[in-house]
């Protein structure tokens, strides 16, 4: 799987087009390929409760409708599907 900057916990979104790296402070794009500092951001698509159904949509076994790119760091049910 190719990780993108938008999936990284060091990605700071400025708008839908660009963001900043929290570590390096440089301007980056969300779809840039992640660098060596990459660490996964908690998102639905990385959660063991998430079941993909179609492009950009899926189900949460805890709650029904869900979408893969949502930040799940504040979700009480979040569990990494693969801790690595």
Partner 1 sequence: MPDSHISPSEAVNYHGRKPIGNIEQRETKPQPSSRANAARELYFEAKSSVSMEFPYWYTRRWEELEGEIPMVRRGEALKAGFEHLSPVIYPGELLVMGKSAYYRGSFPMPWLSETFFLASEDSMYKEALESGKLTADTVTTIGKGGGNITKSSGNVISIAGKFGLRVEEMPILLEVAKKWKDRSVDDIGHKYEQLVPGYKEKEVIMRSVICMFDSGYTLPQGREVINYFYPLQYGIDGLIRICENGIAETAGHPDMDRIYFYKSCSSVLKGIRKWILNYAEEAEFLASVEKNDKQKQEYLEIADRLVWLSSNPPRTFHDALQLIWIFHLAVLNEDAISGLSPGRVGQVLFPYWKRDMKKGVINKEKTLELLECMRMKFTEIDCFASMGVVGGVLSGNTFNNLCLGGLTKDGSTAANELEMLILEAGIRCDTPQPTLSILFDEKLPQEFLMKGIECTKIGTGYPAWVNNQVGMEFILRNYGHESMNLEESRAWSIGGCLESSPGSWMPLELDGELHWIPGGSAPATSVGVHFLSLPKILEAVLFDGLDMRTGERIFPSHGCKLDSYDELWDTFKYYFRRAVQVLTLTNNIQHDAWRKIAPSVINSLLKPDCLKKGKDIGQMGSRYNSTFNIETTGTVNLVNSLASLNMNVFDQHLFSLDEYREAIKANFGFKTAQETGSYSLFDQIPTDENHKWKRIYKMSLEAPKFGNDIACVDDIMKDWENWFCKMGSEFRSLYDQPLYACQISVSTHGPMGAVTLATPDGRLSGTTFADGSMSAYPGTDKNGPYALFNSATCWNHSLSQNSQMNMKIHPSVVKGREGSRKFLDLIRGYLRKGGFHVQFNVVDSRMLKEAQAEPDKYRSLLVRVAGFTQYWVELGKQIQDEVIARTEYEEL
What are the residues binding partner 1 (CB under 8 A)? 10, 12-18, 20, 22-23, 25, 29-31, 54-57, 63-65, 67-71, 73-75
Smallest gap, in angstroms, from Cβ of residue 68 to partner 1?
Answer: 7
State the Cα–Cα distance between residues 63 and 28, nearest whole angstrom.
33
* C-beta separation of 6 from 38 below 8 A: no
Smallest gap, in angstroms, from Cβ of residue 24 to partner 1?
Answer: 10
In degrees, rounded to 5, the angle at the alpha carbon of residue 61 between the alpha carbons of residues 1 and 8 is 35
Smallest gap, in angstroms, from Cβ of residue 81 to partner 1?
Answer: 18
């Amino acid at each position: 799987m190719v990780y993108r900057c938008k999936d990284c916990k060091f990605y700071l979104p400025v708008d839908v087009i660009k963001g900043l790296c929290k570590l390096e402070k440089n301007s980056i794009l969300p779809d840039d390929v992640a660098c060596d500092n990459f660490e996964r951001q908690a998102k639905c698509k990385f959660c063991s409760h998430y079941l993909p159904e179609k492009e950009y949509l899926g189900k949460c076994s805890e709650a029904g409708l869900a979408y893969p790119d949502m930040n799940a760091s504040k979700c009480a049910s979040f569990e990494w599907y693969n801790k690595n």
